[in-house]
Structure 1
Amino acid sequence: MEELSCYHCGDTIKSCISFDDKSFCCNGCKTVYEIFSENGLTSYYEMETAPGAAPAKLEGKYDFLSNEKIVDKLLEFNDGNVQVISLYIPHIHCSSCIWILENLSKLKSGITASQVDFPKKSLRITYNSEKLTLKDLVLFLSSIGYEPYISLDDSETGKKKINRSIIYKLGVAGFAFGNVMFLSFPEYFEVNEYWLDQYKGLFRWLMFAFSLPVVFYAAQDYFVSAYKGLRANILNIDVPLALGVLVLFVRSTLEIIFDWGSGFFDSLTGLVFFLTLGKFFQQKTYNFLSFERDYKSYFPIGITRINPDGKEESIHVHDIEKGDRILIRNEELIPVDGILINGKARIDYSFVTGESEAVEKESGDKLFAGGRQVSGMIEMEALKSVSQSYLTKLWSNDVFQVKKEDSFTSFINHISKYFTSVLLLIAFSATAFWLFIDVTTAINVFTAVLIIACPCALAMSTPFTLGNLLRIFGNKKFYLKNAGVIEQLAKADTLIFDKTGTITSNKKSNISYEGVTLTSEEEFLLKNTLRASNHPLSRSLYDMLAEYDIVAPEEFREITGKGIESVYHKQAMKVGSADFVGSTTAGTSLNTSVHISANNEYKGRYVFFNEYREGVQELFTQLAPQYHLSILSGDNEGEKSRLTELLPASTQMLFNQKPEDKLDYIASLQKEGKKTIMVGDGLNDAGALAKSEVGIAISENVNVFSPACDAILDASSFESLPKFITASKKAMSVIKVSMVLSFLYNVVGLYFAVTGQLSPIIAAILMPFSSISIIAFTTICTNIIGRKI
């Protein structure tokens, strides 16, 4: 009688439940199918055959999620009716899993967004807590076969146990390989005495016994991966490896059954051992690179802490401790959860929830990390220290990013797609040829071809090169969002620089005042108005003015590209451009100026004489021969003559540029086919940073965290920018060389394999050796490149 398998999960059916002309193993699987069917999501089953998992019985298992204190520890974000949580989902394993989990909003009312991080098997869900509790959410996920793993010992969800299975498999394969080699010695040395008659059969069946755990345990990952790929009509790189192992095992078993020979159990166990050893080495190396990326490539974000004596100091976000009183200026990101103490808070949580509408908060309300203050300055008390992984998650969140081209990775994927097909064609053709000459050689040729031409080295060259360079850049204070940015840096042919706060130093401006002397009350209000702003000119002017008592303006508004205004005790203050403050008699100045008006009466202006960053002239001189260079400034032409003396003659300079003008300028260059890098201060340049192929935000001691940018460059490393770009180009060359080496290795290996001169055991040694050599080559080359930065 033919066994039935469940339409949803694929398990063998013991007691059949029929519905909609389909068979299910239990009511749970039938219910999941009904849910998908009612919501028009049955195409889930077209992506793979039986992709789901049978729902577990969960009576009472998640009752602890009714406890608000426990739920609060697990949530990333909890503001009224909007909650965000990241859950570790062990069952995520294929494209259909990703598809259904990212369509949860169609399945369950209350879920507004869901995003899968496939490598980490984590699911980030935003939901309405008035319509759906966390317990209901977890039970729903479990009911459709995606039960999350929740540990109360560690509320940082998604942190997986160290996977030791590869170590166990390596141990099993190594133990079996050693014993099979030992048992093979008599036939290696052609011992034809009493052994041949009395112990030959025993030794051969012992070798068979040692091969069983190797094939069915140590090599199972290759079979599972190949099966899933074939089921999805994809020939992945594990298909030839699984075929090689299977052919060796079947042929060797037949040989000892019919006494044709001793088989290839030595080659078989050696093959799996060396493949597993190569995979173990690859995993250890990549884990090292990932560790460096997660914990050392931190953001150079600063924050202002208010000491008990009322003095302000700039500190790194990682120095924030529970109980610290911190100042959040207009447009600054809130780096930690805390309680609002003072000021009018309007928080934009779009980085966290995707909702752009700002939420108003009052003194005593809780504020969550990831929100951006958009209405002046506030003071808050930190409830905990900063979470680096949380900042990384916000910065890397694809929901808020424009997808940028990653052509090199696409090229690798394109090659890999056809590689296996060509490899199988060569293997079967060579085997068919040798079958007419020698059957034993034919089986050796088939296996050796499948093993020696594995494209592992090709697949590893890109992630290891770029991963190591990410780590090196991070150590040099250049922090990239992801590895794809390196490719874009290498392809760029145009660099655009903002002026104020980018090529000029915020800390070295000479400022003079021209106009009516301000009263102490006006200067007091001016100081506190500037205190709420993050603009480089505001910060410079704020530092120059005398100390006054700290107060929060009752009203505050900052208009990008124009200026800021505030009201305190019915006294109004405007700071910004002459037009913004309402001046018609301000006159003209060739230098950068900040104009002041109090109660709509023009007072005067502060004139800035910019100090340029050290190394600016050398930086532009290095870049000029290879790149089209531009300066975009929101200021007037006051600095044009000085810039003309300082910078190469080919540098294009545009002044009086509003934020939208900068964006339009980059768009016009891209229409001409230019690949652009925009370097700005991360404030007024957000649109331009997002529009360009690579947006680099320069950071000094202010919180310029911006998902609009692709990289953050510490101001102290500004003059090294040409070296970073050059290093990116060299890295892409290293990848190309490693690809050529990989192809050469495959071509040479295939020649010896097809001609019958390469045994499977030698192929099994050479295959992981080639991968390890590629890793070593890329690591050494990138380290050499890094030393030259």
Structure 2
Amino acid sequence: MENCFHCGDECRNTVISHHGKSFCCHGCKTVFDILNDNNLSYYYDLERAPGMSPIEQEGKFEFLKNEEIVTKLLEFNEQGTQVVSLLIPSIHCSSCIWVLENLNKLNSAIKTAQVNFPKKTVRITFSSKSLTLQNLAILLSRIGYEPYISLDDITENKSHIDRSLIYKLGVAGFAFGNIMFLSFPEYFEVNEFWLEKFKHIFRWLIFAFAVPVAVYSGRDYFISAYKGLRSKILNIDVPIAIGISVLFIRSTIEIVMNWGTGFFDSMVGLVFFLLLGKFFQQKTYAFLSFERDYKSYFPIAVTRLTRNKDKSTLETSKTEEQVQVYKLVKGDRILIRNSELLPVDSILIKGTALIDYSFVTGEAEPVTKKSGDQLFAGGHQQAGSIEVEVLKPIEQSYLTQLWSNEIFSKNKQSVFESLTDNISKRFTISLLSIAIIATTIWLFIDIPIALNVFTAVLIVACPCAIALAAPFTLGNLLRIFGRYKLYIKDSSIIEQLTHIDTVVFDKTGTLTTNTKNTITYEGISLNKEEQSLLTSTLRASNHPLSRSLYDILDKNNIQTLDDFKEDIGQGITGVINNRSIKVGAYGFVDSKQEKTNKQTHKRTAVHISTNNKYKGCYVFYNEYRNGVKTVFDQLKTSKKIVILSGDNDGEKEHLSKLLPKNTTLLFNQKPEDKLNYIKQQQKKGRNVLMIGDGLNDAGALAQSNVGISISENINVFSPACDGILDASKFQDIPKFLSLSQKGTQIIKYAFIFSLFYNLIGLAFALTGNLAPVIAAILMPLSSISIVVFTTIATYLSGKQLHKPTYK
């Protein structure tokens, strides 16, 4: 009987021959034609018979014509772009992932598709102008990946927790404890009458405890090994599955033949400690994921507006307070300033909203919104300050998914992942070769011992420690970095830091502190109305100089602007009751006059004109962060240092005194100039770390190998960067780079440590002296020791962050 080329099922009723291949139904043939016609036949090269037979049910997705239902399912719906996450139960192999992430080749309206294999979900971004959600669901069903849509789960916000690992660990732990207890008489060779009388009962009880461990607790390793072998890949689970199989079969034979207890204690111990390591690893990443979503990358605070009523005057006033984003609840009123990111889904209450959703959709054209319109998280306000009402808390809004969106993904592949795969491949081949050679030699010496040697070699050499070295080390470093206020987006970024040879700094807001500028005013004094207009206009801007100036001015009589405009790199304009003010560069505020004093252009100043009449300027004298010179001195020994500043070169002389010789200083750099400079350095083969303030450096941060944003004003968030460093920890930058280097060394030492244990176990196995108690000790000891070693080593290495960088 032939099998279907697409789904692998037996062609029982009919056999449909098509292009020299057999199919069990017209559905499978249709899917083959769809994939073949769209040049997606590589789908069948990844796995043999990878597909699922599609089951068509007419009208099954009619409910998706209801706009209310569609709105509840969509995560994002703006500018003709919709984003939806769908549960696909039939995802089961690498071919499934590949074809789902290439859906754009089946329909050009689909922009991106990202598969979460453990959760069996696919997150799809598509054009709503060319494709409806209903047609998307039908397309998925036609190729055998019918989505499972449950409105109850969405409306009730139920969370499905996969507790299978806990159950498997519980079964393995219960069996491990009981088998060890029942094996004590065998370990200590007790020959009293009760052992002889009850040993058969004990052995069969041990067998009964071992069966569910092999069949249930250890099945994931067999499935992974099978899929790897089917794809001609020797993954790390292949030798583990071989070891479990040999242990179980050998031990079962010994009990049936009444030769002894076997190695059931070792087998169950192996599975138990493997699952225990996986459990702790899962817990670690769950913790890191939680930090990533809420605390690490945006410990953002927003300005919440609270209404207060004065009983004596019966007037209502608004007070501003800074609250952490994840404390926002539905109904809160918050203030969003110009260029700030909308952190939650909300409704516009007051002000002019011009929202740039380019971080979400890739479309740079902003969208105008009026009072009462819904605003989605992830958009940038581009037209002054607005007042909005929170619709959803942060954990339910679109912003929580921005960091995993492929718009910001650089596809950075960790070297250690490929290193682990290469080691596991060589390990498996070496292990099998040693077992076969040793067995062959012992066959000429002692046949019974030959069997023991073969099984012992496969039993004792546990490769799981190798697989755990990199993720545990980098995961621990991720938490240590976060503890010292460097919040890294992903553990692979730490590996990228080890290859950095060029460090690029922005100046304003990065090398300098926005909170310690010395500011003096020169010019005609401003009256109270002009002061109020100035303060109200500055409040709507997020430029570092605007924020510094706003912080020192009187906050009385702040009003909502009638109009606001910001010319990037030039200045801002505010209007209240037909009174206007311009704040910014001299040429911007007073273009009619010529200023001959060159010193005015060489210093950092904010000029002011009211109703087109020049009034004066606030002059800023930068104060550099504590430890700047020490940071440069430590980096110069191994890194190239570059300063890219958008400001003028007024402080070039002073800055040069802090910098090492031959440092590159470039001033008057526009955002695109910074990005292009980094791109040129990368073409020369350099690995660039960009450190900026996250405002005008988004492009450079995204282009660099690693982009870190210095955060002093936590209202501002740039999703283009790979990490956010608290400004108070600027002086620790060399230590973070050094700790990343030590992380790679720890991983290498862990590999050597694991190899050392395997060699000891092999020495016992090859000489035919592997007793059950020795196997029971050595097998799990390797994995436990690696976890302990990486944890202690990273902890001790992280203690260098305690020490002060400068005096």
Range of TM-score over shorter length: 0.7 to 0.9
What residue is the counterpart of 2:232 in the other structure?
233
Equivalences for 1:199-348 in 2 at 5 Å?
212-251=211-250, 259=257, 262=259, 266-267=262-263, 269-297=264-292, 298=295, 299-308=298-307, 309-348=317-356
Aligned match of 1:412: 420
- Which secondary structure does the structure 2 equivalent of 1:369 belong to? coil
Residue from 359, 362, 367 that aligns with 2:367: 359
Compute the displacement of 1:689 (Å).
1.9
| 2:759 match: secondary structure | helix
Q: Quick one: which of 479, 497, 506 aligns to 1:498?
A: 506
Contact 1:378-1:552 at 8 Å conserved across structures: no
Matches within 5 A, 1:601-620: 602-620=614-632
Distance change in 2, residues 1:321/1:243 (3 Å): closer
Q: Is residue 643 of structure 2 the alignment partner of residue 639 of structure 1?
A: no
Q: Specify which of 587, 594, 598 is matched with residue 597 of structure 2.
A: 587
Q: Is the 8 A contact 1:177 1:273 kept in 2?
A: no
State yes or no: 1:786 paired with 2:785. no
Identity of aligned residues (%): 53
Checking the alignment, whether the CA contact within 8 Å between 1:65 and 1:71 is kept in structure 2 is yes
* Alignment counterpart, residue 393 of structure 1, candidates 387, 401, 405: 401
**Cα drift, residue 652 of structure 1:** 5.1
Classify the secondary structure of the residue corresponding to 1:637. Answer: coil
2:17 is the alignment partner of 1:5: no
User: For the structure 1 residues 331 and 240, does the alpha-carbon distance in structure 2 shift closer, same or farther, using more than 3 Å as the test?
Assistant: same
CA distance in 1, matches of 2:784, 2:194: 44
**TM-score, normalised relative to structure 1:** 0.88
Counterpart for residue 425 of structure 1: 433
- Specify the alignment match of 1:690 in structure 2: 702
Structure 1 pair 317–239 and aligned structure 2 pair: CA distance change class (3 A): same
Give, as a single letter, the amino acid of the residue that structure 2 aligns with 1:350: S
Tell me the CA shift for residue 572 of structure 1. Answer: 5.6
- Other-structure match for 1:171: 171
Show the counterpart of 1:161. 161
- 1:607 match: secondary structure: strand
| Superposed CA offset, 1:698-731 (max 9, x none) | 1123433223211101223333333323322222
RMSD: 3.6
Residues 360-369 or 5-14, more deviating: 5-14
Instruction: Indicate whether 1:478 and 2:473 are aligned.
Output: no
Paired AA for residue 620 in structure 2: F
Maintained 8 Å contact 1:334/1:369: yes
State the distance in 2 between where 1:172 and 1:612 align. 58
C-alpha displacement at 1:365, in angstroms?
A: 0.9
1:735 and 1:38 mapped to 2: Cα distance?
46
Change (3 A) 1:293 1:609: same
The 1:535/1:169 distance shift into structure 2, 3 A limit, reads closer
Pick from 12, 16, 19 the counterpart of residue 18 of structure 1: 16
Q: Does the Cα contact within 8 Å between 1:329 and 1:532 map onto a contact in 2?
A: yes
- Cα distance in 2 between the residues matched to 1:685 and 1:605: 26
Asked whether the equivalents of residues 509 and 610 of structure 1 are also in contact (C-alpha less than 8 Å), the reply is yes
In 2, Cα distance between the equivalents of 1:450 and 1:388? 49
How far the C-alpha of 1:114 sits from its partner, in A, is: 1.1
| Structure 1 residue 610 displacement after superposition | 2.1
Distance 1:405 1:183, change over 3 A: closer
Structure 1 residues 405 and 283: CA distance shift in structure 2, 3 A: closer
> What amino acid sits opposite 2:259 in the alignment?
S
Corresponding residue SS for 2:768: coil
Partner Cα distance (2:65, 2:90) in 1: 24
Contact 2:28 2:53 in 1 (8 A): yes
Shift of 1:335: 0.4
Deviation at 1:485, TM superposition (A): 1.7
- Give 3-state SS (helix, strand or coil) of 1:783's partner: helix
Answer with 400-409 or 357-366: which moved more.
400-409
What do the CA deviations read for 1:499-554 (whole angstroms, capped 9, x no partner)? 21122222222222233445666555543433332110011122334444422353
Q: Given the alignment of the two structures, is residue 437 of structure 1 paired with residue 437 of structure 2, yes or no?
A: no
Higher RCO (CA < 8 A, seq sep 6+) = 1
Q: 1:665: how far off?
A: 4.2
Q: What is the CA–CA distance in structure 2 between the aligned matches of 1:527 and 1:177, rounded to whole Å? A: 71
Whether the 8 Å contact between 1:338 and 1:384 is mirrored in structure 2 is: yes
Q: Does 1:732 align with 2:744?
A: yes
Residue identity opposite 1:705 in structure 2: F
Higher alpha-carbon deviation: 80-89 or 99-108: 80-89
How far 1:48 moved relative to its partner? 0.2
CA spacing shift, 1:517–1:476, aligned 2, 3 Å: same
Counterpart of 2:123 in structure 1 is 124
Report Cα offsets for 1:455-505 as digits up to 9, x if no partner.
Answer: 221121111111111112222221101112212323334433222112222
Code of the residue aligned with 2:455 in structure 1: it is T
Q: C-alpha separation between the residues in 2 aligned to 1:434 and 1:208?
A: 29
Distance 1:570 1:597 in 2: 14
Query: How many angstroms does 1:136 deviate by?
Result: 4.7
The secondary structure found in structure 2 opposite 1:235 is coil
Q: How does 1:48-67 map to 2 (within 5 A)?
A: 48-55=47-54
Which residues of 2 match residues 650-689 of structure 1 at below 5 A? 653-667=665-679, 669-670=681-682, 673-689=685-701
Q: Which 10-residue stretch deviates more, 536-545 or 511-520? A: 511-520
Q: 1 CA distance for matches of 2:92 and 2:232?
A: 16
Which region of structure 1 is more displaced relative to structure 2, 400-409 or 223-232? 400-409
Q: 1:609 to 1:68 in 2, by over 3 A?
A: same
2:110 matched residue in structure 1: 111
Q: Is the 8 A contact 2:180 2:265 kept in 1?
A: no
Query: Alpha carbons of 1:442 and 1:660: their partners in 2 closer, same or farther (altered >3 Å)?
Result: same
Do residues 557 (structure 1) and 566 (structure 2) align? yes
Distance 2:193 2:3 in 1: 54
Amino acid at match of 1:104: L
1:141 positional shift = 3.3
Letter in 2 for 1:164: S
Give the structure 1 partner of residue 769 of structure 2. 757
Tell me how far apart the structure 1 counterparts of residues 797 and 85 of structure 2 sit (CA, whole Å).
38
Look up the equivalent residue of 1:741 and give its one-letter code. Answer: F
Q: Distance in 1 between matches of 2:547 and 2:751?
A: 49
Structure 2 vs 1, CA of residues 562 and 428 (structure 1 numbering), >3 Å: closer, same or farther? farther
Q: 3-state SS of the aligned residue for 1:8? A: coil
Structure 1 partner of 2:310: none
* Gap change, CA 1:440 and 1:26, over 3 Å in 2: farther
Q: TM-score normalised to the size of structure 2? A: 0.86
Secondary structure, counterpart of 1:696 in structure 2 = strand
Q: Which amino acid aligns with 2:8?
A: G
2:353–2:381: 8 Å Cα contact kept in structure 1? yes
The question of whether the paired residues in 2 share the 8 Å contact of 1:396 and 1:707 is answered with no
Letter in 1 for 2:604: T
- Hey, what does 1:95 align to over in structure 2? 94
SS in 2 for 1:465: helix
Q: Which residue in 1 is equivalent to 2:711?
A: 699
- CA gap 1:542/1:256 in 2 versus in 1, 3 angstroms: closer
Instruction: Find the partner of 2:778 among 766, 772, 783.
Output: 766
Gaps in structure 1 of 5+ consecutive residues: none
Please say if residues 246 and 455 of structure 2, whose CA atoms lie closer than 8 Å, have aligned partners that are also in contact: yes
Pair 1:515 & 2:523 matched? yes
Counterpart of 2:541?
533
Equivalent position amino acid for 2:77 in 1: N
Aligned to 2:32: 33
Identify which range, 457-466 or 590-599, moves more after superposition. 590-599
Count of equivalent residues: 781
Amino acid at match of 1:317: V
